[in-house]
Structures are given as structure tokens and as C-alpha cells.
Amino acid sequence: MDTIPLPPILLDGASGTELYRRGMPRGACTEAWVLEHPDALLELQRDYVSAGSQVLLAPTFGANRASLRRHGLEARTAELNRRLTELSRQAAQGRARVAGDLAPTGLSIAPFGKSSFEELVEIYTQQAAALEGAGVDLFVVETMTAMYEARAAVLACKAVSEKPIWVTFTCDANGRTPAGTDVLAALIVMQGMGVSAFGLNCCEGPAGMLEQFRRMAPYAQIPLIAKPSAGLPGAEGKSAHPYLPGEFASFVPAFAYAGVRMFGGCCGAGPEYIAALKRALSQVLFSNLSAPRQDPDVIPCASEREARFITPDVDVGETIACGPNLLEDILEAEENAPQGALKIAVLEEDDLDIFSENQYAVQDALCLFSDVPELLERALRLYQGRAFWDGTGDLEPEFLTEMSRKYGLILL
């Protein structure tokens, strides 16, 4: 098992709701409880492997410093990630890959929170480095609700490892995350940053997910992941199960036709659901499925919340300077000159703070400009969308190619 298996790939199912069934009390720190009751996790994950799971998520969902601090355990971040990964390796027994699991910190960045983006990157880097040291086979950034946390986690993983990174967001029936991001925008941004797979998890049942995959498939150049919930957690850790295993797995053909190549379950979906998925997958001839066609003249961009589509001859309007009225200038440009794109120039060090504080207001496709390479890179790092470069500047092609690789900068 020297390589990650090619799609289709069968993932594991729920951890939290299954551990509740095995005695974990509500409100407990999952990571600490698992280490105190290792047999509960070993039994669960061995059942997943027996059911057909090819990838196990180590139970490190809340093992970042910010989440562990709420339980007074932040000093044990590296230890917990290492020991929990070792447990999952013990359960896998060489029959499944083990993924390091990174999840939301619960922190918000300015101007709506007290944290900075770089603080989030540092928190995730600490966890990712611990997981890399523990020998995970890949990273799964899951249950993301906000673009800035997903971007911070991806940058962190890429800083410490060259292993694959898979990302999943959670959304409502309209494809919106709790932070208001369209999951199509999330796909465009994550794909641009070089993740190896993208998808959805912890959504209320497979039926609500299907339309979102159909929306994303024409723009997906990487495998899509589906890990729907069978039932969301209820009171006292009990979970309602609106989908029985057979009904849950009945969505596999529709998911496959919509571009999904990695299948698993979230809340309420235990080993019996994974076994049902395996049976359903055996009935799908993936070699006969073709990828949806994308219009070659349409270029997908994204702001923090919205997917936007431009053409190579897009009109960006007048360049907006990063002055004290940047917020008003952005709103006016998008309302009164709706070309579908705008251009912001970052020319000085002070411009970065102004841009960072106001970039959340951008809804249209964004062309970022700077004639200073270091400033452009820092602006791209701060921007929580996927920007483009219109070719009007005089920067080295090698530098721009690196910005495309690292941050998804689109080069026109």
C-alpha cells in the first residue's frame, strides 16, 4: 500500500455519534475520552475496515490548540494527535489508510472576530506538523463552515507536508455554509490551492447533497467526496436515523453520475451504512461514466462567499486604490459598474491592512494588482477567495506561476 487507492474510494462513517453509542458522555473532550477508552475506538474503526473502508479518519477532529484549550488540554496538542493517530493505525492493521483529521477551531478573524488569519494558520500548522510526525497518509480538512478556516488549514498542511489534502464543507439545502459561503465558491478556491479532492460532509441526508454535486461537477477537476449524515445528533447523544442503510446507499448511482468518486458517511452512519455503500458501489461501472463538460471560455473565480465566472476579455473597470474609503469604493464599484469584476491595487505596506479589513465585502471576481511581488503574495494570502491577474503588471512569469500554484491565482 504505497499509494492512495484510485477512485472510487470507500471512506469511513460517523465517529461522534458512534462513540456516544459506546458510552462517551455529551460534553466530553472526545480526544481525551478516546485515549481513556481506546477499545471503543478500536472496535468502531475495525468494524469500518471490515465493512470495506479504505480510509480511516484518526479521531483528531478537535485536536487543534484552540479547541483543546476549552478543555484545558492545549499543552497536549502534539501528544494527543500522535497517540490518536497510533490508535487508528492499530485499528487499520495495514488494511486501510489513516488520515489526519483537521476541523474548525471555532475562531473568527477580523473584522468580525478577534483572531488574525495568520493565527489560524499557526494553530493548524501546529496540528498538521504533529499529524505529519505521527505518520498519517493524508490530511482531511472536514466540516468546514468558513473559507478562512479551510484556507488556513490547507496552507498549514502544505507547509509541513507534500501528502494529499482532501477538504469537505458542510452546507444547507441551498448549498450555503453556516458562514454564508456557496460550496461552489469553496470548490473553486480549494481546487485552485491544489487540494486533491473536495466534497461535502455532515449535511442532513444524501438527498439534499445531490443537487449541490450536480452544480459543482462541471467545474470539478478533482474527485468529489460525499459523506452525508444518516441522522443528525439529538438530545443526550442519541441520533435520529431518517435514512436506513439501504436507502442511504441507494443514492450512490446518482452521486456517481454527479461526479462523486469518494463515498462515506457522517453523523448516524455507522459500519452497517458503510457495508451498504460497498454493496451499492459494486453495482456502478465507473469506467463508463464521463465527466460533465465545462465551457472552455468560462473561467471560474470566487470571492469568499460567491462563485463568479469571467472570460479572458473581462472588463475590470477602474482600478481601486486601498485608501481609507476602500469599503465604500468596493460597494460602489459593484453596484454602479457591474462588469462582474473589479480591480484592487496593493502598492504599499499599509495597503495590506486596509485590504485585509475590507476584502470580505468583495462579491464579484477580483483582479489583484501590485508591482511588488512580496505585496502581491501577502495580498493573495489574505484574500479569502480566488483572484485573477489581468496581465497588466510587470512581474516575472516564474513568480506568477508560483502564486498560481500556491494560492490559485488565475493568470489571464
pLDDT at residue number 236: 43
Residues 6+ apart with CB under 8 A from 370: 345, 346, 347, 376, 379, 393
Q: Which residue has the higher pLDDT, 213 or 242?
A: 213
Burial of 301 (0-12, 13-18, 19+ CB in 10 A): buried
Tell me how far apart the terminal alpha carbons of the chain are, to the nearest angstrom: 40
- Residue 5 confidence (pLDDT): 60
Q: Residue 43 to residues 15, 85, 137, 225: CA-CA distances in angstroms?
A: 12, 15, 21, 25
| pLDDT computed for residue 232 by the predictor | 65
How large is the average pLDDT for residues 75-84?
Answer: 98
| Res. 310: pLDDT tops 70 | yes
pLDDT, tens digit, 9 for 90 and up, residues 270-286: 999 999 999 999 999 98
**Hey, is 200 helix, strand or coil?**
strand
Q: How far apart are CA 271 and CA 49, in angstroms?
A: 9
Q: For 89-102, what is the mean pLDDT?
A: 98
Q: Helices 147-160 and 183-192 meet at what angle, rounded to 10? A: 20
| Mean pLDDT, range 116-137, rounded to an integer | 98
**145-154: average pLDDT:** 98
Q: Round the average pLDDT of the chain to a whole number and report it.
A: 93
Residue 6: pLDDT band (50, 70, 90) is low
Give pLDDT tens digits for 190-221.
999 999 999 999 998 898 899 999 999 999 99
Does position 379 have pLDDT exceeding 50, yes or no? Answer: yes
pLDDT in tens, 393-412: 889 999 999 999 999 999 99
Distance of CA 45 to the CA centre of its chain: 23
Tell me, what's the pLDDT at 297?
81
Q: Is the pLDDT of residue 293 over 70?
A: yes
